[in-house]
Structure 1
Amino acid sequence: MEAGFNLVLDAKTSLGECPVWSVAEQVLYFVDIKSRRIHRFDPATNDLTTLELSEEVGCIGLVAGGGFVAGLRSGIWLLDADGRPVRKLADNPEDQTISRFNDGMVDPMGRFVAGTVDESREKGIAGLYRYDRNGLAQLADDLLTSNGVAFSPDGRRLYHADTLRYTLYTYDYAPETGIASNRQVFSRFGSDTDKGRPDGGAVDLEGCYWTALFEGGRVQRYSPDGALLAEYPVPVKCPTMVSFGGADMRTLYCTSASIGRSQAELEAFPLSGGLFAMRTDVAGLQKPLFNPEA
């Protein structure tokens, strides 16, 4: 283990997820899925602003011109800068009593790539989808928990995890068309003694993939060919997603969860639900802005 993450905000989220750095505002947005909130954190002042939503929000992207694209339980929505719904872009095509949108991000051409979670944890109804001006298209099916969406620096590799199956995949991705093909296993996780599994991820300028290991208490960095390069402790059991930010894009932020954890775990890890950060030697990729006409 190398030097790890430090607390930057005791956010007390139930299920913190999807940190997204705004280059224009120099602030970090992140969500609390179960509390139905989008948070705006200004690291220069430590100010936290909260936007309340009417339903669970699994993932967000920033929109060119302001506002958010968001994966909610009911579907993919366009929200204004205050989190108010502008219009629904696409329905969640699955059984919404046990399915909601979970992890996602904007692709290099401004589309939104987002997956769902099968809350039954057994039916395999979750999928990975792409939204663009032509509507919603499915990229993968038969998933339990879609997570870890990120793109290589050239946009031609898509990373994607099925968390409950302890597996991280790669796809060949065509930025021109948004078509994903040739799924391959990038890495498998978990053992009898280690339940850490891949949750949210991010890619740096060297093309290396960083993943938060839920129930693993750490973040790992992998080379593009799948070699484990380093791992960094997080002072919680359940980190959920990493994302680069800061003026030089060399601050790696990490959200975490407290929901569903035992009392003993919460006593052992009292910062569960907090927001953490670590300085890195290599900068991360800026996340593209969503374009409804992409």
Structure 2
Amino acid sequence: MTNGMTNDQPFSCVLDARAKLGESPVWSVAEQALYWVDIKGRSLNRFDPAAGTSRAWAVPEDIGCVGLRKGGGFVAGMRSGLWELDGEGRPLALLAANPEDHAVSRFNDGRADPAGRFLAGTLDEPKAGGKAHLYRLDRRGLAALAGGILTSNGLAFSPDGRTLYHSDTPTFTVYRYRYDPVTGEVSDREVFVRLEPTGDDRGRPDGAAVDSEGCYWTALYEGGRVRRYAPTGALLSEHPVPARCPTMVAFGGPDLRTLYLTTASAGRPAEELERFPRSGGIFALAVDVPGLPEPLVDPAV
């Protein structure tokens, strides 16, 4: 196992997007473009790094995550449920309703598994009762995989598809499950990483991705940095971000050696935004160890 880079190499801003709550970056290999969402800004966005251009499409409600759909379009986790969207973010069909109270719950982090199922979790907005869940959507319908969660986050798969990572952000914990890529079932949950907050550091694990060596990259919300962990849970490197609230990473670029990062600006103190004026932007880091192509959501699975 190699580190693959120098510790403390920083991220740099590649798109001053001014997002309220940027999230769910996903790289389209076919288009060589990065899709991402602004949850509170209610938009689906497309960034073309080669051209330096970006587009945004309004969506009708809070949108927590998006996955590229086989045949075109997207599957998106929204407040009301999991939806099929067309290529410009227009809702086409409700695939599964959010079974929780929409007044205090919305879908948050999500991604396709290697077989094409879509996994997505919810967020318990009051952070009061651990009422959020992690769900799996396939042709059999919606099924709960885990419960007792405050904010479902950090979904990522090992390169062989047999390990699922999943974080509960407010509890500062990343879990690891045994995952059956044939059935989509999970078992044997264990703590992978638990962070220890301090009075000055409330950095906690948000969105994540796994590279081709099986290492887990996690954005630390309110921590201003991204960490890379070995499959053993050992911390390999840490990379500062010129924004206090990084939210999720995704591998992209022609060789999947660019690590993109979304960030947030909504609700942050004025002093913080003065110090980090690119908060809400898209950032990037060149890495030596590439990622893996993002699976497409397959409605037939």
For 1:197 and 1:127, how far apart are their aligned partners in 2?
19
Of residues 225, 235, 251, the one that matches 1:218 is: 225
Match status 1:122 vs 2:128: yes
Partner residue in 2 for 1:196: 203
Aligned to 1:179: 185
Which residue in the other structure is 2:91 paired with?
85
| Partner residue in 1 for 2:118 | 112
Q: Distance in 2 between matches of 1:285 and 1:93?
A: 32
1:30 and 2:36 equivalent?
yes
Q: Which amino acid aligns with 2:182?
A: E
Distance 1:51 1:64 in 2: 20
Which shows bigger deviation, 1-10 or 210-219?
1-10
Q: Secondary structure at the match of 1:148?
A: strand
Q: Which amino acid aligns with 1:66?
A: G
Question: In structure 1, how many angstroms separate the alpha carbons of the residues matched to 2:80 and 2:160?
Answer: 32
The answer for the alignment partner of 2:281 in structure 1 is: 274
Specify which of 223, 233, 237 is matched with residue 230 of structure 1. Answer: 237
CA positional deviation for 1:191: 2.2
Tell me by how many angstroms 1:264 deviates: 1.3
Give per-residue Cα distances to partners, 1:207-247, cap 9 Å, x unaligned.
Answer: 00000000000000000010000000000100000000000
User: Deviations along 1:26-75, whole A, 9 cap, x unmatched?
Assistant: 00000000111010000011111111100111000001111000000000
1:259-288 alpha-carbon deviations (Å, 9 max, x no partner): 111111111111110100010010001110
What 5-or-longer segments of structure 2 have no aligned partner? 1-6
| Cα distance between partner residues in 2 of 1:25 and 1:102 | 25
CA distance in structure 1 between the partners assigned to 2:20 and 2:153 by the alignment: 18
The answer on 1:16 being equivalent to 2:22 is: yes
Q: Percent identity?
A: 61
Give the letter for the 1:258 counterpart: S
Please name the residue that 2:4 is paired with: none
Residue 105 (structure 1) shift: 0.3
- 2:188 aligned with 1:156, yes or no? no
Give, in angstroms, the shift of residue 121 of structure 1. 1.1
RMSD across aligned positions (CA): 0.7
Counterparts of 2:196 and 2:94 in 1: how far apart (Å)?
A: 38
1:133 aligns with 2:139: yes
CA distance in 2 between partners of 1:184 and 1:8 (Å): 36
SS in 2 for 1:265: helix
Higher mean displacement: 22-31 or 260-269: 260-269
- Deviation beyond 2 Å, 4+ runs, structure 1: none
| Residues 1:73 and 2:79 are matched in the alignment | yes
Quote how far apart the aligned CAs of 1:124 are. 1.0
User: Which of residues 251, 259, 281 in structure 2 aligns to 1:252?
Assistant: 259
1:47 is matched with which residue? 53
Q: 1:287 corresponds to which residue?
A: 294
- Distance in 2 separating the partners of 1:194 and 1:185: 21
Shift of 1:112: 0.2
Letter paired with 1:252: L
Shift of 1:190: 3.0
Count residues with an aligned counterpart: 294
2:27, 2:182 → 1: CA distance? 25
